[in-house]
Structure 1
Amino acid sequence: MSDFDIIRRRAEQRKGGADALNAMLPAMPDHEALRALPDDRILSQMTRRIFYSGFVHKVIDNKWPGFEEAFDGFDPAALNIAPDEYWHDLTSDDRIVRNGAKIMSVRANAAFVRELANEAGSAGAFFADWPPEDHIGLLEVLTKRGSRLSGGTGQYFLRGIGRDCFIMTRDVLACLRDAGVPLSPSGTGKKDQQLIQQTFNRWAQETGLPLAYLSRICGLSIDAPRE
């Protein structure tokens, strides 16, 4: 068996069999649907993920209709020309969570989404057409050009818009180490990321599975040590 066959069998044993494991897998990535996703929905998903960080998700979800209203439906063109006073007023707007730094990230990311749309026709097309074998490179784009989209925030944003991707959770890193991938203790260095990408690329070629499935199965196959 290949190393991923071993990982999948272990995940099946831990989760109650093949059918139970399959039920835990995310939706099949649909890059055609992603390509058609309007820019305002891209910015909305970015913002939701940014506000999730450090907050109970249910709090953000319950207030989300207010977010949509306060941020004018997340229309990047409108937000790009909104005056300073608009953004200042949002810091006291009780329809949203009044975190100044995160509110200003929406302003920066509206410009970012517009840049991607100018480059690729739409932000959805930019994300859909990025080569899957260079997922690490796409995460770097989010980190360098976006605002507050590094780490897990950027990874879960991509998963949320339907982009096929792996997510580097602690359990996934533990799975990779168990499979013999020589990651550093943090697992976050540039060499680590290259090794992770190479491993997922190989598994994708061997199995024909999308990165999202490989990542979830890997994470379900093992529990990382908890400090």
Structure 2
Amino acid sequence: MFELVNSALLLGYVIEIAEFARYRGSCRDDPALIENKWDGFEAAFLGFEPRKLVHKPDEFWEKLASDKRIVRNPQKIRSVRDNAQFILDIAAEHGSFGKLLAAWPGTEQIGLLDLLAKRGARLGGNSGQYLIRFLGKDSFILSRDVILCLRDAGVDLTEKGTAKGDLKKAQAQFNAWQKESGLPLVHISRICAMSIGENYDAERLKRATGGED
């Protein structure tokens, strides 16, 4: 499946959808905001084609900061250029970004997240987790409810669950659950999220989270 994802689509997801997964978390009453602007994003960022973007001069990026077709956040805009180069670098090393994702074992998800955080721009934390989920990679997301579920199961995590030690413990528990159940990580992650905390009807959950954990 990853071989069907071209570089333009990859860059779009890597930069905008992953980043705005966090953005949508702060504006849950309007989860369609980014989707409604998507055509504007594609036009402004030249179809998200990395080779075109990395050669654009500073003036191009400065103008985007006032472009009403997109969410005008200077840091996110700069991350597009940085991540365009990141994708080209990964493609040179592994054949394509998709090949890297497809070959990376789910039992070592935290290693992939570490790579995204260190070599990508603004792809650490939850952004990296939502990124690989949106790209179709079988994975878990350490949402608030998933962290509560893990702690309820006896996994010794901090409240936020973001420390390196937390990630290792979470990975170990998900690996154990997957071995025991035979289920994909995404199924286990969602079961975990729905089994604790405040639950809502299906339609409200879909509107509020876009279907994610």
TM-score exceeds 0.5:
yes
Instruction: Give the Cα–Cα distance (whole angstroms) in 2 for the partners of residues 88 and 189 of structure 1.
Output: 35
Does 2:13 align with 1:45? yes
Q: Which moved more, 1:46-55 or 1:120-129?
A: 46-55
Give 2:23's match in structure 1, choosing from 39, 46, 54. Answer: 54
CA distance in 2, matches of 1:129, 1:150: 20
Structure 1: which 4+ aligned runs deviate by more than 6 Å? none
Matches of 2:140 and 2:127 in 1, distance apart? 13
What is the aligned counterpart of 1:146 among 110, 117, 120? 120
Moved more, 179-188 or 62-71: 179-188
Return the alpha-carbon distance in structure 1 between the equivalents of residues 161 and 20 of structure 2.
Answer: 25
User: Quick one: which of 36, 41, 52 aligns to 2:4?
Assistant: 36
CA contact (8 A) 2:8 2:47 kept: yes
1:179 to 142, 153, 156: 153
TM superposition shift of 1:52: 4.5
Name the residue aligned to 1:217: 191
The CA distance in 2 between the partners of 1:37 and 1:196, in whole Å, is 29
Q: Look up the SS of the partner of 2:66 in the other structure.
A: coil
Matched, 1:102 2:80: no
Give the gaps of 5 or more residues in structure 2: 199-213
Q: 2:42 aligns with which of 54, 68, 73?
A: 68
Alignment CA distance shift 1:203-1:52 (3 Å)? closer
Measured in 2, the distance between the counterparts of 1:177 and 1:138 equals: 23
Answering whether residue 93 of structure 2 is matched by residue 123 of structure 1, we say no
Please, which runs of 5 or more residues in structure 1 have no aligned partner? 1-32
Percent identity over paired residues:
48
- Cα shift at 1:213: 0.6
CA contact (8 A) 1:139 1:150 kept: yes
Report the secondary structure of 1:175's partner residue. Answer: helix
Residues 36, 125 of structure 1: 8 Å contact kept? no
The one-letter amino acid of 2:177's match is: W
**What's the offset of the Cα at 1:107?**
0.4
Superposed CA deviations along residues 97-124 of structure 1, whole A, max 9, x for unmatched, are: 1111110000000011111111111111
Kindly indicate whether structure 1 or structure 2 has the higher relative contact order, using CA contacts under 8 Å at least 6 residues apart.
Answer: 1
Answer yes or no: is 1:167 the counterpart of 2:141: yes
Q: Residue type matched to 1:103 in 2?
A: I
| Selected match of 2:64 from 81, 90, 98 | 90
Give the total of aligned pairs. Answer: 192
